[in-house]
């Protein structure tokens, strides 16, 4: 019964999403024999986390009616901070990574403070930090790419437990925890309420400011975590890293049925959105489509999926009215 609850309230029904995912898989499988190989599936699942983890934070932010476009910059900054602390100051890697993670959380906290206390529009706030944080990444690293080869650290991005990528396990755990938070705690439900009607929430005595602070901080932390995984996978950190991450993530989240207007969205939808985008990219590379057409396809899928759902919603709405 509750699972039904989870599916409902999504802009694009999860059914539509699963259907389009199935169609896409069938198409790629027909086009190339390599698509359904275990090696390829392994590739797909081991690279999901970099987009999938910040997508959780983005979903929460969009549900409250905000947006966070600083995630890519935060991911880059985290990588730079971590590698600099380790390489230049000799701080143990674990501690460096933790500080990197916290720096991402700090950026998120600042975003939240600007949005709630100074009441600056979230888009403008995070557009600002997007640029500021990217700039800091360049300043700290002096534009340099840093190699970061450490066996233990590489486990985060490349390690496996029982043939399952460790990063994927982290991601699944995070999705589980945040789903529980979002659907079964007052905190989570309040986020929907804030996005649906900030006024109603305020009148009902919900501490809106505190909720938003937490949400933006979480978004920063998760973006930072994605940055760490990426650094671990690439064994290097670059200030230019994760460029455009925000758009990939927002695309996945919106594809998953979360409304940009707030008050609506599910994590399961986001997860499917992330998987669809990742599979699409993978399949297009496998069938050797030019990279320009890959960008095209990505946008097309988004517009089609959302557009299709609008039409479906309108049709069912009309039928409902007829029935009355």
Partner 1 sequence: MFNKRLLTVFLITAIVFGAFGALALRPAAVVAQDSCPTQKDSYVIGFANLTEDIDFTKLVREGMVSAAEAAGNVELILADNKLDGATALSNTENFITQGVDGIVHFQTDAAFGNVIMARSRAEGIPVIAIDIPMPGATFFGADNYYAGQLAGEALAAWVNENWGGQADAMLVLELPQSGPVPAARMQGMLESYQANVQTPVAEDQIYRLDSKNTQEESFRVVSDTLPAIPEDSKIVAITINDGTALGVIAAAEAAGRAENIIVVGQNADTSGQEEMIKPNSRYLGATAYFPEKYGDKIIPAMIDILECRPVPPSIFVDHIFISKDNVCDFYPDNWPEFCGGAEATPESGG
Partner 2 sequence: MADTPLLEMQHISKSFFGVKVLDDVPLTLYPGEVLALLGENGAGKSTLIKILNGDYQRDTGDILIEGRPVAINEPRDAEMLGIRMIYQELHYAPDLSVMENLLVGSLPRRRGRAGRFFIDWKEARRFTTESLKLLDVSIPPDALMRDLTVVERQIVEIVKSLSREARIIVMDEPTAALTPPEVDRLFQIVERLRCQNVAIIYISHRLDEIFRVAQRLMVLRDGRHVATRRVDEVTPAELVELMVGRKIEERIPSSADSAGSQPVALEVSGLTKQGAFEDIGFTIRRGEILGIFGLLGSGQFNLTRAIFGAEKADRGIIRVEGRAYTIAHPQEGKNAGIGFVPVDRKVNGLVLGLSVRKNVTLSNWRNLVRAGFFRQGLERQHTQHWIEQLEVRITGDMEVPVRFLSGGNQQKVILARWLEANVKVLVLNEPTWGVDVGARADIYDQLEQLAERGLAILIVSSDIQEILSISHRILTIYKGRLTGEFSRAEASKERLLQAAAGGGS
Binder among 13, 31, 32, 113 for partner 1 (CB under 8 A): 32
For residue 248, give the H/E element and its range: helix 245-255
Residues 6+ apart with CB under 8 A from 322: none
Contact between 233 and partner 1 by CB under 8 A: the answer reads yes
Structure tokens at 107: 């950026």
Q: How far is the CB of 210 from partner 2 (least distance, A)?
A: 12
Q: Which of residues 283-302 bind partner 1 (CB under 8 A)?
A: 285-286, 288, 290-292, 294
Which residue stretch of 61-69, 107-115, 217-225, 282-290 sits at the interface with partner 1 (rule: CB under 8 A)? Answer: 282-290
Integer Cα distance of 243 and 255 in angstroms: 20
Task: Name which of partner 2, partner 1, none residue 259 binds, using a CB cut-off of 5 to 8 Å depending on partner kind.
Answer: partner 2
Contact between 310 and partner 1 by CB under 8 A: the answer reads no
Q: Quick one: which of 236, 209, 241, 227 has its CA closest to 102?
A: 227
Q: Which of residues 87-126 bind partner 1 (CB under 8 A)?
A: 87
Integer Cα distance of 85 and 81 in angstroms: 6
Task: Name which of partner 1, partner 2, none residue 2 binds, using a CB cut-off of 5 to 8 Å depending on partner kind.
Answer: partner 2
DSSP of 71-92? HHHHHHHHHHHHHHHHHHH---
Query: Between 212 and 238, whose beta carbon lies closer to partner 1?
Result: 238
Binder among 70, 82, 111, 146 for partner 1 (CB under 8 A): 146
Q: How far is the CB of 133 from partner 1 (least distance, A)?
A: 14
Task: Name which of partner 1, partner 2, none residue 264 binds, using a CB cut-off of 5 to 8 Å depending on partner kind.
Answer: partner 2
Q: Is 118 exposed, middle or buried (0-12, 13-18, 19+ CB in 10 A)?
A: exposed
CA–chain centroid gap for 143, Å, is: 26
Task: Name which of partner 2, partner 1, none residue 16 binds, using a CB cut-off of 5 to 8 Å depending on partner kind.
Answer: none
Residues 6+ apart with CB under 8 A from 228: 78, 79, 82, 97, 100, 101, 156
Name the site residues for partner 1 (rule: CB under 8 A).
32, 34, 37, 39-40, 42-43, 46-47, 50, 87, 138, 142-147, 149, 157-158, 230, 233-236, 238-243, 281-282, 285-286, 288, 290-292, 294
């Amino acid at each position: 019964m509750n699972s039904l609850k989870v599916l409902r309230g999504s802009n694009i029904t999860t059914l539509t999403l699963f259907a389009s995912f199935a169609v896409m898989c069938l198409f790629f499988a027909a086009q190339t024999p390599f698509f359904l190989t275990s090696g390829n599936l392994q590739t797909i699942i081991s690279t999901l986390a970099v987009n999938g983890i910040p997508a959780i934070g983005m979903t929460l932010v969009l549900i409250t009616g905000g947006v966070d476009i600083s995630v890519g910059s935060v991911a880059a900054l985290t990588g730079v901070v971590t590698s600099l602390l380790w390489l230049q100051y000799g701080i143990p890697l674990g501690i460096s990574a933790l500080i990197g993670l916290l720096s991402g959380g700090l950026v998120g906290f600042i975003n939240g403070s600007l949005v709630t206390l100074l009441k600056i529009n979230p888009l403008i706030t995070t557009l600002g930090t997007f640029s500021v944080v990217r700039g800091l990444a360049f300043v700290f690293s002096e534009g340099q790419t840093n190699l970061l080869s450490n066996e233990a650290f590489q486990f985060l991005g490349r390690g496996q437990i029982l043939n399952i990528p460790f990063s994927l396990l982290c991601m699944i755990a995070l999705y589980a925890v945040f789903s529980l938070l979002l659907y079964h705690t007052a905190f989570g439900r309040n986020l929907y309420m804030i996005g649906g009607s900030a006024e109603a929430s305020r009148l009902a005595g919900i501490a809106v400011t505190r909720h938003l602070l937490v949400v933006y901080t979480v978004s920063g932390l998760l973006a930072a975590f994605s940055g760490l995984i990426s650094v671990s996978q690439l064994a290097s950190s670059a200030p230019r890293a994760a460029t455009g991450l925000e758009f990939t993530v927002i695309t996945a989240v919106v594809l998953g049925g979360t409304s940009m207007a707030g008050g609506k969205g599910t994590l399961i939808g986001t997860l499917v959105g992330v998987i669809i985008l990742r599979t699409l990219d993978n399949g297009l590379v496998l069938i050797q489509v030019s990279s320009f057409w890959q960008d095209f396809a990505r946008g097309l899928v988004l517009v089609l999926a959302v557009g299709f759902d609008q039409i479906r919603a309108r049709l069912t709405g009309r039928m409902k009215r007829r029935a009355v």
